[in-house]
Amino acid sequence: MCSEEGGMGRLSSAFWKVLGGSRRRAFSRSRAVVATAAKLEGEYRELTESDLAERLAALSRRHRPVDGDDGAGSTATFDRDELVRFLALAREVSRRRLDMPAFDVQLLAAARMFAGDVVEMLTGEGKTLAGAIGATAFALRGRQVHVISVNDYLARRDAEWMAPLYEAFGLSVAWISSTSTPEEREAAYAADVTYAAVSEFGFDVLRDRLGTDPIVPAPQVALVDEADSVLVDEARVPLVLAGSTAGAAPDSIITDLVRALKPDLHYRTDEDDRNVFLTEKGAAAVEDALGGVDLYSEEHVGTTLSQVNVALHARVLLRRDVHYLVRDGRVQLINESRGRVAELQRWPDGLQAAVEAKEGLAVSDTGEVLDTMTVQALISRYPTVCGMTGTARAADEQLRTFYDLGVSIIPPNRPCVRVDEPSRVYATIADKEAAIVDYIARTHETGQPVLIGTMDVAESEHLAKLLERAGVDCVVLNAKNDAAEAAIIAEAGALGAVTVSTQMAGRGTDIRLGGSDQADHEKVKDLGGLCVVGTNRHVSRRLDEQLRGRAGRQGDPGRSIFFSSLEDDLVVRHAPDARLPTTTEEDGQVTGLAAERLLDHAQRVADAALLEIHSNTFRYSRLSERHRAILDERRELLLGTDTALRELERRCPDRYRELSAEIDEEVLVSVARRITLFHLDRCWVEHLAFLSDLRESIHLHALGKQNPLDEYHRAAIPAFRDLLGEVDERAARTFEEATITAEGIDLDDAGLVRPTATWTYLVQDNPFGSELDRAFRGIRRMLDGRRGRADDED
Amino acid sequence: MLSAFRAALTTPDLRKKILFTLGIVAVYRLGANVPSPGVSSPNIRQCLELIENSGSANIYSLLNLFSGGALLQLSLFALGIMPYITASIIVNLLGVVIPRFEQLRKEGQSGQAKLTQYTRYLAMAFAVLQATTFVALARSGQLFGNCPHQVIPDGSVFNLVVIVIVMTAGTALVMWFGEMVTERGVGNGMSLLIFCSIAARIPAEGSSILQTQGGVVFTVVCIFALAIIVAVCFVEQAQRRIPVQYAKRMVGRRMYGGTSTYLPLKVNQAGVIPVIFGSSLLYLPQLMSQLVGDGTGWLNRFIDDYIVPQSSWVHILLFFALIIFFTYFYVSITFNPDERADEMKKFGGFVPGIRPGRPTAEYLSFVLSRITLPGSIYLGIVAVLPNFFLSITEEGANQNFPFGGTAVLIMVSVGLDTMKQVESQLMQRNYEGFLR
């Protein structure tokens, strides 16, 4: 009842069965190991502290892998007996040190992670402990583990919470947050197990690539928390290291001018709200307002027109309290899939500044992209990857294609008895809201706690107002009051609590029945546990499942229901030309399967669009990552040897002779290195800019019957070849012209400043469809045209 | 060129892909030459000789061309991948009518996978249908135009059913081959298999020319064929690049001045489709006169004298005109300037100096119609050249002669596409000697 098997899951499990079910066999082997470990429980419980310490010490005799071995070799795993003993010990240690003995299912999850799987565990089943046991297993085998968390808060909490467990096994544990200093980071990376948010690991790698002394050790094991969110949802977001250049916001004249434009008359948006563009009237209006310029002339294209477009995008497509918040005089982005403020995220290409201008705030610096890396590239650095999440099944296909990861479904410790009521579909948003308020009011009367999941900040506030009008007291939790998050969540399960939240409460939060003191636990349980109300279907089935998962934790009772309407964004954006069911009940509810199917369809289209972005990001970034790897090799060579000077000597022998007569060889080596590295990094920045230009228009090649990806490579690869020559040339020029003294060289370095992250934005690979598609569309248009004419004549 | 080949073979995973593709092609050719059980291959050979000598074009010869001669041999892969191609065209067409198909198409990979599955089922249905048809035609002797030898000596129902089943299974296998090549080999599997079928006939046709016409004509044919291939390669790669600029992002300075942002328009934007349409349409009068006429009316006589013989001037001119018409027709439905202009506008792009929307659409349509004229004339000439050749040598062979227009166009475009893909993979992998 709790999690019906998804279509995809069914398909792939059938697939594995056909292939001999090696995964299923491995899974049942792990089960057998856990069962054997369970038999030892009684014996280990009786152990005195010193006996226990002895056994731990025996197991903890590390198998440090030989130098050069990445640890993936055979020495890195336990044999069966060792694994059994390890799991039994882990349970005993967690009982004594953490006061929460690990359940069999947690041990099973740990064993599957140790085998390199992503495990699916329902909420409240204790992922943190299972993950820590898994990480311990790797670390005992002498491999450094990076536990990749969702945010700084969780990284620190989990590391500190689990520290006694690690210490009992003689392992060191550390965490990194965005405020950690380089020294703290270096120390944390030296620990056996390091907890940090994915962006911290990523930025450290990026910083290493640009710096001169790397701090991130060679990657060994990544254990990813909320794996589907990090590996699938966040994988679309490239991490960007940017150097500040002055902020370039659109002129205030243009911002004002754009504000005065009218929808449909002056500008239009496309169906899925990803693009906005001026109409001819709009362009004319802008031109008049600017004193009769020609927007599309050479002179204005790169400047005025870009400004207008960016300002228009900021005004129309980015909505306050949906996409961003304004707080403390700053624009803060909201992470779509988590509903939280995304501290480090920024919009690219002047959009951030345009939004700031729109809100009348001070314009912040604009980043120039120095280097970039996708989350996927970060994860694929690790030879061993495993993870855990509450919704792995629906991401099964993607985890396998993009990361070659298998999924293990861990059964719940106690069976889940949540009741998922059939969702209700309404014709209009107004009908839906009325029904939601009514439903909540009725549930609230019984005293059952209600958690409402809305789409965005604006909706949560709107709904709270409606509820108040209906006489229901409620608490709002959204990105605006995230400081109060812990307190609100603690009370969300209390008797009679009504909490209106965004996606923030959708993932990772653990709502205990009966409030913080759990006084009314039994009473709430008798009322049916927590009732979760979703006011919209999300863009991905996984997000719906996560929200539902807030109810019915650890065998508690619970209830969930989703309300949607045919006017929801999901339908309007992703199934715009669907025929809407028209028959409704008195209260506006649309019954029958058609409406339900339409919503499922819209959700699948939305999911497919995101997947398309993901796989495009992946396919297009693979090449530049390859290029980056070549540059990294080169950098390493330059850093470790005197290659830079030797090459400059070969290119400019006269200059070298002249300099070496006066200046120490050692100084010259370092000067040559700095010059060459500077130009290498500079050329890379330019190369990245070139690539993003190229990426923007490459889909046009589909019209010339060429494969856009092939054409992209055809243009990008020669450019990279040229880059290497260009570096040498520029370095030689600097070497010839710069003043080099005995102290070295004064490079007017561009300051490499604080990194910032950005968002990707959609560039669809082939928006035209295949040629055949177009032919059929053409035929249809001709038919429609004729029909249209026939109608006119009638 | 040769060094590129060497490089491709020394790159391990590319070598693996190429060898895999070649292996599949070998198995495919083998199956195309193994006769189905119950078919008498000596009798078939005699019938084929008869046809060749009579020189009359046959309605099935286009199908035979795509199956690499396997069809008229009634071999295991007699049907080739035509059922699959037909099925995919139909599934696409159904998308226009059936909303469910349209919905699936929008649902991305999972929906697409379902559509592919439907296509496969439909292809199987077509395969059964076509196999039954051909077996019936062969049994009654019609397939080979009144050949006196019985190609299926045992006419029992069981035997006929076995042949149908074998051919259907053969199609399923070929379909799988195609998908495997696309997935794990180089190039597009389906096109590559068609390419092989056509190319496979070259040696046989060449030797038959050598035997019947002698060395001089053979040499002339070879030179002529080479010249066509070179010309086709040249024109197929010709494109008009319309510069396009994007003004959606505010970036400090553009280092590369938009050299690589353009909209490429091919001279031959329509590909081989107009030729196929044209030649199919030209078969119609012949079919009609066979079905309804008694061979005496003036229309029938006209058709028999001027349209059916491929070397007649009326036929050639008609063919040429049809190709030009279909080129314009096909280009106009696949490339809609209004839609393209709208799309460019949506993504913030425009042609420098030309305003987006209406003016851009007009400009695109102007360039397109100008480029389509030479494109269509080129297509027409390539397609009718073999017919000229026929009228000069006064010899019977037909359009499906492997140096003919359709065949060369298909071979060259598939060959170019595959080469491009190999080249692109090669460039991605081969960084040797990149860093000193």
Q: Does B420 touch chain A (CB under 8 A)?
A: yes
Q: Which of A17-31, A354-368, A619-633, B181-195 has the lowest mean pLDDT?
A: A17-31
Q: In what order do the strands lie in the sheet with A173-175?
A: A173-175, A193-197, A145-149, A221-225, A384-389, A117-120, A406-409
Convert the pLDDT of each residue in A107-155 to its tens digit. Answer: 999 999 998 899 998 877 888 899 999 999 999 888 899 999 887 888 8
pLDDT for A788 equals: 43
Q: How many structural domains is chain A composed of? A: 4
CB contact under 8 A, B256 and A604: no
Mark whether A260 and A134 lie in a shared domain.
no
Tell me how many degrees the CA angle A556-A562-A564 measures, rounded to the nearest 5.
170
Assigned domain for A781 exists: no
Interface probe for A, chosen from B250, B255, B345, B409 (most Cβ of A below 10 Å), is B250
Altogether, the residues listed in chain A come to a count of 794
Which amino acid is located at A136 in the chain?
T
What ipTM is given for this predicted complex? 0.79
CATH classification of the domain holding A724: 1.10.3060.10
End-to-end CA distance of chain A: 54
A3 lies in a domain? no
Cross-chain CB nearest to B103 (options A601, A694, A779): A601
Q: What is the reported pLDDT for B71?
A: 75
pLDDT of A170 > 80? The answer is yes
Q: Which of A279, A608, A778 sits opposite B334 (nearest CB)?
A: A778
Q: What percent of chain A has pLDDT over 90?
A: 17
Name the B residues in 334-363 with CB < 8 Å from any A CB.
334-336, 340, 343, 345-350, 352-358
pLDDT band at A752 (very low <50, low <70, confident <90, very high): very low
Burial status of residue A235 (CB atoms within 10 A of its CB: 0-12, 13-18, 19 or more): buried
Distance between B362 CA and the closest CA of chain A, angstroms? 15
Percent of chain B topping pLDDT 90: 14
Q: Shortest Cα distance from B29 to chain A (angstroms)? A: 28
B249, B265, B350 ranked by CB distance to A349: nearest:
B249
For residues A29 and A487, give the distance between their C-alpha atoms in angstroms, rounded to a whole number.
Answer: 42
Residue A601 placed within a domain? no
Provide the Cα torsion A396, A399, A405, A406; round to 10°: 0
- Closest Cα in chain A, distance from residue B2 (Å): 19
Contact call for A349 and B333, based on CB within 8 A: no
Residue stretches of the annotated binding site of A: 106, 124-128, 510
Q: Is residue A402 part of a domain?
A: yes
Cβ atoms of A500 and A467 within 8 Å: the answer is: yes
- Give the position of tokens 């059980």: B37
Residue numbers in A near B346 (CB within 8 A) = 270, 275, 277
Would you say residue A91 lies in a domain? Answer: yes
Question: How many cross-chain Cβ pairs, A to B, lie less than 8 Å apart?
Answer: 189
Indicate whether A107 and A44 sit together in one domain.
Answer: yes
Q: Which residues of B touch A774 (CB under 8 A)?
A: 333-336
CATH number of the domain at A184, please.
Answer: 3.40.50.300
Please state at what angle helix A708-737 crosses helix B405-429, rounded to 10 degrees: 40
Q: Residue A678: pLDDT above 60?
A: yes
Which domains are delineated in chain B?
1-202 (1.10.3370.10), 214-436 (1.10.3370.10)
Q: Check if B257 contacts A (Cβ < 8 Å).
A: no
Same domain, A319 and A349: yes
Lowest mean pLDDT among A365-369, A785-789, B96-100: A785-789
Among chain A residues, CA nearest to B430 = A717
| Torsion angles phi and psi, residue A553, rounded to 5 | -80, 145
Residue of A nearest to B333 (CA): A778
Within chain A, what is the greatest distance between any pair of CA atoms?
97
Instruction: Tell me how far apart the alpha carbons of residues A727 and B318 are, in angstroms, rounded to a whole number.
Output: 61
- Determine, yes or no, domain membership for A320: yes
Of residues A289 and A112, more confidently modeled: A112
Judged by a CB distance cut-off of 8 A, whether residue B86 touches chain A is no
Q: What is the separation of C-alpha A3 from the centre of its chain, rounded to a whole number of angstroms? A: 23
**Least confident range of A91-100, A196-205, A343-352:** A343-352
pLDDT tier for residue B174 given thresholds of 50, 70 and 90: very high
Tokens 């029945």 belong to A513
Distance (Å) of CA A613 to CA A560, A616, B423? 31, 5, 26
Instruction: Identify which of B273, B268, B376 has the alpha carbon closest to the alpha carbon of residue B320.
Output: B376
Tell whether A219 and A324 lie within a shared domain: no
pLDDT at B434: 40
CB atoms within 10 A of CB B8: 20
CB-CB contact of B327 with B379 (8 Å): yes
Whether residues A294 and A187 share a domain: the answer is no
End-to-end CA distance of chain B: 25
The C-alpha atoms of residue B334 and residue A443 are separated, in whole angstroms, by: 57
Does any domain span residue A414?
Answer: no
Does residue A287 share a domain with residue A200?
A: no
Q: What is the rounded CA–CA span in Å between residue B192 and residue B371?
A: 28
Above 70 in pLDDT, residue B6? yes
By C-alpha distance, the chain B residue nearest A630 is: B435
Beta-carbon contacts of A131 under 8 Å, excluding residues fewer than 6 positions away, are A110, A113, A147, A158, A223, A225, A388
**Does pLDDT of A588 surpass 60?**
yes
In this complex, do A626 and B428 lie within 8 Å of one another by their Cβ atoms? yes
- Asked whether residue A355 falls in the same domain as residue A472, the answer is no
Is residue A388 included in any domain, yes or no?
yes
Indicate the pTM of the whole model: 0.80
- A308: distance to nearest CA of chain B, Å? 9
Report residue A433's pLDDT band, with 50, 70 and 90 as the boundaries: very high
Question: Given an 8 Å threshold on Cβ–Cβ distance, is B356 in contact with A611?
Answer: no
Nearest CA to CA, how far is A455 from chain B (Å)? 22
- Residue B117 in contact with partner chain A when CB distance is under 8 A: no
pLDDT in tens, B389-405: 665 554 444 444 555 67
A751: pLDDT confidence band, cut at 50, 70 and 90? very low
The answer to whether A276 and A313 have CB atoms below 8 angstroms apart is yes
Count the neighbouring beta carbons within 10 Å of the beta carbon of residue A338: 23
Query: Within this chain, do residues A180 and A61 fall inside the same structural domain, yes or no?
Result: yes
Check whether residue A400 and residue A427 sit in a common domain. no
- Contact call for B354 and A608, based on CB within 8 A: no
A38-52, A159-173, A392-406, A639-653: which is most confident: A159-173
Q: Do A560 and A680 lie in a common domain?
A: no
Question: Per the CB < 8 Å rule, is A368 touching B252?
Answer: yes
The pLDDT value recorded for residue A780 is 65
Instruction: Of A571, A596, A575, A507, give the one whose Cα is nearest residue A545.
Output: A507
Domain identity same for A81 and A212:
yes
Question: Which of A634, A714, A721 lies nearest to residue B424, judging by beta carbons?
Answer: A714
State chain A's mean pLDDT as an integer.
81
Closest Cα in chain A, distance from residue B106 (Å): 6
pLDDT tens string B38-59? 888 888 778 777 766 655 555 5
Reply yes or no on whether the pLDDT at A582 is more than 70: no
Expressed as residue numbers, the domain containing A251 is: 247-364
Annotated binding site of A for ATP: 106, 124-128, 510
- Does A631 score more than 50 pLDDT? yes
Answer whether residue B183 shows pLDDT above 90: no
Provide the pLDDT confidence category of residue B145 given band limits of 50, 70 and 90. low
Domain CATH number, residue A272:
3.90.1440.10
- Residues A732 and A630 placed together within one structural domain of the fold: yes
| Least-confidence region, from A518-532, B72-86, B276-290 | B276-290
Across chain B, mean pLDDT equals: 79
Radius of gyration over every alpha carbon of chain A, rounded to an integer in angstroms: 29
How close A712 gets to chain B, by Cα (Å)? 9
B256:A607 CB<8 A: no
User: Does pLDDT of A81 surpass 80?
Assistant: yes
